[in-house]
Structure 1
Amino acid sequence: MSISVEAKPLYVPPLEEVASVLQNGLKKNFAEVHVSVVECPDLSQEPFCLEGKGLCGSPRLSDVGGVPHLLPSPLKDKVYNIKELAASVDLPEAFVIGAGAGPHEYIGVNSELMANTLTGKTASNGSRVAKIDSSGNNELLKLPESETGCSLMLNMFACEGRTGQVLRILAKKRTGSLNFVTCLRQALTDHYGDKAVGLGGTFRMVQGSAKCHVMPDFSSSPISCEDELNQWLRFFELPSPMVFLSTLVSRDPGMDLRLEHSHGYGKEYGGHYHYDTTPETVEYQGFYNVAEFMYRVDRPKVTHSFGRN
């Protein structure tokens, strides 16, 4: 299937500068904050256990499809393969992480995807999906090596998976109203204004719990507003520890982007991150890198702005 691809360079400030901006922004929302530039730890090891070692080497973001492919009615023919999506961002041998909708043709129902894939000669797949089981419970499944599909939408960070300098972000005890990811994004927006700065990476919720949702199977009737969407989604309070795969961009440079998107999983559950529910005890540890480019793949022809929280 031939799909459209747009690309724009992002503003890439020095990592030390970004660390300072994030430190100042997070301090408005968390009691304990430490943001620094460090050598990326081996993310393929505990406690992250991702497919790639690091977040460096040609870092880029891609917004594939989008919520308009799901709402008001799902376009079930919008199916993608992460291997092909890596090639679409000019990085055929890539470490890809991100948040999207699972491969419904394989799973059999709609689901939340936690993408975690190496493409190319050393290909491997650690992606997971969270779905609603027949009893209405949150069920986590690890996808087989050969299943690198996704549906409808994917917000992905891609790089060469190399080690190198990255941002290390620690935040404890939330004092403000913003969630962890929104706080990062808002700090960048406030400081950089019209310049679009993008981050991709992973974070752990070490302590506390988070409100997350899992999409049930596709709705038989159109969903046309936030209220109808929230009635359809299934919400859960999920306990730590959890690993999240995360993308964000400070502003939309005219590409109809989803500005932030994070999915995560624990031992037997997963979902789309909204916010922590335990501000007094929550603790986050994250590693992010600054993206050099933003790609827009298969941009929806008809768009709207709801359902992007």
Structure 2
Amino acid sequence: MHEPDRSIHTPRRMANTGKIEKAQLHVPDLAELCQVLQSGLNKNYSDVKVSVVDCPDLTQDPFGFPVKGLCGQPRITDVGGVPYLIPVAQLDKVYNMNTVSKEVELPGGFFLGAGAVSRKTTGMNAELMPLVLTEAEERPAVNASYFSSINPVDEKCLLEKYSDRFNDCDFGLLANLYACEGNPGQVIEVRACVRTGEESLVSSMRKTMEEHYGEKSVALGGTFVLQKGKAKIHIMPREFSACPLNTNEEVNNWLKHFEVSAPLIFQTVMVSKDPGLDLRVEHTHGFSHHGEGGHYYIDTTPDTAEYLGYFLPAEFVYRIDRPTETHDIGRD
């Protein structure tokens, strides 16, 4: 596979979303990456198997994605950022998946990941689980996304299909997205059972790559299922904080935390090393078919946790509308 171009490409601008920066990523051979991940995950789980496989048909259960696979010109993008949410939300930060698809030079591409809804569309704040096949000349967009909010009736999780309520492909404030053509092909399959360490599946994978690849930036995107056990998640309140959130403690007190049950289908983006673009190095959201979903932290049942995931390394990262004033608060 090709070696990275360490330079960051000349920024360009497109309507409404500000500056776009692009950097090439290191793309390891899949067999090599399997060995790296196998070794690292063995330190965090008692039973691990990482292998190269043909991507399963993701239109089938439990995924229900609008495309069959994760292959074809894989890339990631970090849009907006946490500084647009906290300390004070900047509600004018609204983005559109169809526009982003052109900005990452993949019009008509498939996007998955983690983000926030647009308040201008939804009238509230909520967690977004993007699953969007963006529009192309011969077809309209297919928005299979989910979003979770705090139910005003009982203060519990309310998970809904985005297209049941709204007709656009907008999102707000921030998103971490993996994009590809949605084709079948070879991917990395990760099976991990019984957590023995302190790291989540995503953190364990990301830190393993960071340790092995050092200064090279390797990014993975994809989906995984918590097949057994429970997980800790958060959901942002429907209303943005009336007071500025200036510390991680204040952010955690504002968020609503829940324990949710398998099976849970997660979408994730992770980067081993930020190549100087102020990236959120890991971000994972998930949904279920039993009404639960949100921002993933870690499983809460290590003795019974069972994961099955599919991932692919990205070739490029695109940084869209990077905040000029930044901080590290609220990036967990």
TM-score scaled by structure 2? 0.92
Q: Kindly provide the CA deviation profile for residues 114-133 of structure 1, in whole angstroms up to 9, marking residues without a partner as x.
A: 00000123421110110012
1:48 to 55, 59, 63: 63
Q: CA deviation at 1:103?
A: 2.0
Residue matched to 1:18: 33
Residue matched to 1:37: 52
Counterparts of 1:22 and 1:50, CA distance in 2: 26
Residue matched to 2:177: 156
Alignment pair present for 1:243 and 2:265? yes
Q: CA deviation at 1:2?
A: 4.4
Residue matched to 1:141: 160
Residue matched to 1:286: 309
Which amino acid is 1:97 matched to? L
Written as runs of structure 1 = structure 2, the 5 A alignment for 1:148-187 is 148-187=169-208
Alignment pair present for 1:124 and 2:142? yes
Residue matched to 1:221: 243
Q: CA deviation at 1:113?
A: 0.3
Counterparts of 1:2 and 1:164, CA distance in 2: 32
Alignment pair present for 1:87 and 2:106? no
User: In the superposition, relative to structure 1, how do residues 2 and 244 fare at CA in structure 2: closer, same or farther (>3 Å)?
Assistant: closer
Gaps (5+ residues) in structure 2? 1-15
Alignment pair present for 1:75 and 2:90? yes
Gaps (5+ residues) in structure 1? none
Indicate the SS of the match to 1:4.
strand
Counterparts of 1:148 and 1:22, CA distance in 2: 34
Counterparts of 1:69 and 1:208, CA distance in 2: 34
Indicate the SS of the match to 2:18.
coil
Indicate the SS of the match to 1:154.
strand
TM-score scaled by structure 1? 0.98
Residue matched to 1:308: 331
Counterparts of 2:201 and 2:63, CA distance in 1: 18
Counterparts of 1:86 and 1:44, CA distance in 2: 21
Q: CA deviation at 1:208?
A: 0.4
Are the aligned partners of 2:17 and 2:321 in contact in 1 as well (CA < 8 Å)?
no
1:61 to 76, 82, 94: 76
Q: Kindly provide the CA deviation profile for residues 242-265 of structure 1, in whole angstroms up to 9, marking residues without a partner as x.
A: 100100000100000000000001
- Aligned-pair identity in percent equals 47
1:299 to 296, 300, 322: 322
1:276 to 292, 299, 303: 299
Alignment pair present for 1:254 and 2:254? no
Residue matched to 1:204: 225
Counterparts of 1:225 and 1:299, CA distance in 2: 21
Counterparts of 2:244 and 2:214, CA distance in 1: 36
Q: Kindly provide the CA deviation profile for residues 83-123 of structure 1, in whole angstroms up to 9, marking residues without a partner as x.
A: 11111100011010010111222221100000000012342
Indicate the SS of the match to 1:53.
coil
Counterparts of 1:150 and 1:140, CA distance in 2: 16
RMSD: 0.9
Which amino acid is 2:189 matched to? R
Q: CA deviation at 1:292?
A: 0.1
Counterparts of 1:294 and 1:139, CA distance in 2: 32
Alignment pair present for 1:234 and 2:252? no
Counterparts of 2:241 and 2:129, CA distance in 1: 22
Instruction: Report runs of 4+ in structure 1 exceeding 6 Å deviation.
Output: none
Is the deviation greater in 44-53 or in 195-204? 44-53
Q: Kindly provide the CA deviation profile for residues 57-100 of structure 1, in whole angstroms up to 9, marking residues without a partner as x.
A: 00000000000000000000001111111111000110100101
